[in-house]
Structure 1
Amino acid sequence: MELRHLRYFCAVAEDGHMTRAAERVGIAQPALSQQIRGLEEELGVQLFDRIGRGLVLNEAGRLFLDEAHDLLRRVERAATTAREAGRGEVGRLRVGFTASTCFNPAVTRVLKSFCEAWPRVELVLEEGRSSLLQAALEGGRLDAAFLRPPLSSTDNLDFVLVATEPMVVALPAGHRLDGRRSLALEELRDEAFILYPRATGPGLSENVVAACQKAGFAPRVAQQTPQLATTVNLVAAAMGIAIVPDCMRQLRPNSVRYVPLRDGSLQAEFGLAWKRQDQSRAVHHLIRTASPSS
């Protein structure tokens, strides 16, 4: 039994006349009569009572008509859903983000704009370390992720820059430099630094160390932390100072002071990464939403 058999049957049942039904479905009347007889033979039951030149549904036919209509409606809904998914209008999008990028208002803007534009696409969010998020992208477990460059590998991933923000000095409240409006890097040469290792924040730690070396000193690293949020917590505990993205100001506002760097040379970037071969329209919608030019 094929869907066309159901459509033919419904047309005959609704018109009660083989010739009119044949004109409606666009086939010859003898061919339609043959299709209906074949359907009845397949089911092993007559669906119509033949009265003169007309056809009247019997009890079996009336029950079968209800089920046929329901099945055809479900098939149409399935086809509509498939077409909408192909256009990226419905479905599910798995998006990752690092602990620090979620504090940036640009991420909030992108997610809010995407949900407003594509309300029937479900966003499934996952927080993780950069290295793990990249592995999840390449393995197909995530569709996109907000990451800080550089990526450990760009063989299979594409990337669009979303935002750039200054790095600031995080000091424990009551620190000798507390109250300063800005600081030069060389003023930090005697401080104990709290850094985040490359496995968690690729690029940021290296940039901080390189900037300090350019300023004439190698930073004395007192602690390494698994993520930026932990770094700020250790600063609050007066275990050292840190240089973090400006968006981290939202953490520990009563126990940590954030002071801009004077020359503004240290910048933190982040963007959206996705698998290069991904043809999903929903992913492309998110990319366009995240692009600064959008």
Structure 2
Amino acid sequence: MERPELPLPQLHAFVVLAEELHFGHAAARLGIAQPPLSQQIRRLEDKVGHSLFSRGPGRVALTPVGRELLPAARRALGDLADGLAAARAVGGGSSGRLRIGFAASLALTVLPSLLRDFRQRFPGVRLDIREMTTAPQIAALHDRSIDIGLLREPSEAENPDLDFRTVLSEPYVAVLPSAHPLTGQRTVQLTDLSDSPFVLLPREVGPGLYDRILGLCAAAGFVPRVVQDAVEWQTVCALVETGLGVSLAPASIRRIRLKGVAFRRISPGAARTRVAVAWRGNDQNPLVTHLLGAVSQEAPRVP
């Protein structure tokens, strides 16, 4: 059996009249004249197939049918009001879900304070945080499985449909086994690492960072001999600790505490790695705009 459609304006008129039990008062509350109110009630009764009100001289009362309909009518109007409020909150950027990809090393720098500040400003937003290296983040932005990414050394020219904004830059450091002869120096010349084996992140997970490190070594006159790769900086440091090799890494990696690993500044000291935020340029999600604003406020506080 097909269920009858109950137009919301008629339900609204019904609920108001049920509360007022007076056509004049209900019409005034609705901001309409009495005849249109009577027409709305009549149309609703026609759809229900029964009278909703008993009418007499100077009195209006709900019939048993009207008393049965009233709770459902209130629920329908309440659900609509809740839905409209939720839709306005999402449209205004105070509610909804934001999917963020981030490079693991950023958990050591900008990410914790950025997310803390964002959550304080937008407590109604659900954050879906995903640890991803740079290349998977770019792919996830293209296939729309994340809304915004925080990554290192992005290849902007290869992704013209994405927008990028620099968040911070930080120097590179040499990652050395604690027994390495160079740990006795406060600053390491890159050329001094030319004979050492290297442990690096593989190019496929972070091509920009990988190429940047190889470019620094090339400028120092050598090609690093990569003997092992690892997709996480924690693993890179652990492999260095075993004596397997040395590495070059962003300075924030110093916050990984391993007894058998030493971090030293490198010379030339102008070499820096760039962290950027990336998003789809045509994205209309207001939550992306809010996070970009939070990034702009956070970046100046990050050394």
Q: 1:109 aligns with which of 87, 106, 113?
A: 113
Match of 2:25 in 1: 20
Q: Say if 2:241 and 2:258, in contact at 8 Å, map to a contact too.
A: no
Going from structure 1 to structure 2, the CA distance change for 1:293 and 1:277 (only over 3 Å counts) comes to farther
* TM-score scaled by length of structure 1: 0.94
5 Å matches for 1:118-267?
118-151=122-155, 153-267=158-272
| 2:245 maps to 1:270 | no
Q: Is the 8 A contact 1:208 1:266 kept in 2?
A: no
CA displacement at 1:36 relative to structure 2: 0.7
Contact kept in structure 2, 1:200 and 1:227, CA below 8 Å: no
Query: Residue 41 of structure 1 is aligned with which of 36, 42, 46?
Result: 46
Q: Deviations over 1:191-231 (max 9, x none)?
A: 11222222112222222222222222222222233343322
Report the TM-score, using the length of structure 2 for normalisation.
0.91
> For residues 190 and 9 of structure 1, what CA distance do their matches in structure 2 show?
86
Cα displacement (A) at 1:293: 6.0
Q: Is the 8 A contact 1:232 1:252 kept in 2?
A: no
Structure 2 residue identity aligned to 1:16: L
Q: Is the 8 A contact 1:10 1:68 kept in 2?
A: yes
Q: What SS does the corresponding residue of 1:178 show, helix, strand or coil?
A: helix
Q: Which runs of 5+ in 2 are unaligned?
A: 1-5
Output the amino acid matched with 2:47: E
> When the two structures are aligned, how many residues end up with a matched partner?
293
1:43-67 superposed Cα distances (whole Å, 9 cap, x missing partner) = 1121111121431112221232222
For the Cα contact (< 8 Å) 1:201–1:227, is it kept in 2? no
Per-residue CA distance 1:128-174 (angstroms, 9 max, x = gap): 23211111111111011111122363222111111111100000111
Q: Is the 8 A contact 1:170 1:259 kept in 2?
A: yes
Letter in 1 for 2:49: G
Deviation at 1:246, TM superposition (A): 0.9
Distance 2:234 2:273 in 1: 15
CA distance in 2, matches of 1:150, 1:34: 64
Is the 1:148–1:202 Cα contact (8 Å) retained in structure 2? no
Matches of 1:260 and 1:46, distance apart in 2: 86
Matched to 2:83, the amino acid is A
User: 1:80-129 deviations in whole A, cap 9, x for unaligned?
Assistant: 111011011011111111222222x2111111110111011011111123
**Greater displacement, 275-284 / 200-209:** 200-209
CA contact (8 A) 2:102 2:151 kept: yes
> 2: CA distance between counterparts of 1:265 and 1:142?
33
CA distance in 2, matches of 1:278, 1:2: 35
Contact persistence 1:170–1:242 (CA under 8 A): yes
Select between 79-88 and 206-215 the one with higher mean Cα deviation.
Answer: 206-215
SS of structure 1 residue aligned to 2:183: coil
The answer to whether 1:77 aligns with 2:82 is yes
CA contact (8 A) 1:85 1:91 kept: yes
SS of aligned partner of 2:207? coil
Structure 1: which 5+ runs fail to align? Answer: none
Looking at structure 1, the residues matched to 155 and 84 of structure 2 have their Cα atoms a distance apart, in angstroms, of 39
Which amino acid letter does the alignment assign opposite residue 176 of structure 2? L
